[in-house]
Amino acid sequence: MSVPKRQSATRKSSPRHARTGTVVYRLDREDRFVSTNAAWDDFARENGAPELAGSKVNGSPLWQFVEGMETAMIYRKVFARVREDGVQVRLPFCCDSPDLRRYMRMEIRPWKSGGVEIACRLLRVKKRRRMPILDAERTHTRQMIRMCSWCLRVEEPATRWSVLETYARKSRIMECERVPRISHGICPRCMRVIKKQAGLPA
């Protein structure tokens, strides 16, 4: 989890997203939440997830909120690099709502007693046609699609990864009352970027 959000979807969006400040949270050496800032709570509330307010997640392990083995694995490797070498790592990612494309940057840096501090800054916002697959209030089919946790592209046959709009057009999902469920992984392109930015072996 990069910023407070439901892993499979987001309930709603608001123009206030563009004004949310830098979301900052801190983890102890065992990756449990220690503190979050006011922007964290704002982001959680604006995305219809008040249960993710800082007062409710503090003391909980980060991994309780991270979906996908690949996603958890790369987080652990980046955290280890930050802790062992005392470096700061900057990573680009997307954190979309149904009708907004949000481009963000995550900064992971060492914190006291073996902890890490993560700051997520909103770089820009782009409005788009509403994507029902990101709406948590929609009912779901048994179908499962795999989405990259970082860029939110969707894996298609022959190991191709397409932007969500392309997938929606091909699958005609905009015409459906029910939408597929989402599982999370990392596409090859984002994996290469993360490893390069974090100084991890290719």
DSSP string, 159-199: GEEE-HHHHHHHHTGGG-SSEEEEEEE--HHHHHHHHHHHT
Question: Which residue in this structure is represented by tokens 């596409």?
Answer: 187
Q: How many CB atoms lie within 10 A of CB 86?
A: 9
3.30.450.20, 3.40.605.10, 3.90.226.10, 1.10.1280.10: CATH of 15-198: 3.30.450.20
pLDDT of amino acid 128: 85
Cα–Cα distance measured from residue 199 to residue 41, given in angstroms and rounded to the nearest whole number: 32
Question: Which residue in this structure is represented by tokens 């987001």?
Answer: 10
| Inter-residue contact 130 to 169 (CB < 8 Å) | no
pLDDT of amino acid 175: 66
pLDDT of amino acid 45: 87
| Inter-residue contact 110 to 26 (CB < 8 Å) | no
Cα–Cα distance measured from residue 54 to residue 50, given in angstroms and rounded to the nearest whole number: 9
Portion of the chain with pLDDT greater than 90, in percent: 56
Q: State the pLDDT confidence band at 12, using cuts at 50, 70 and 90.
A: very low
| Inter-residue contact 54 to 41 (CB < 8 Å) | yes
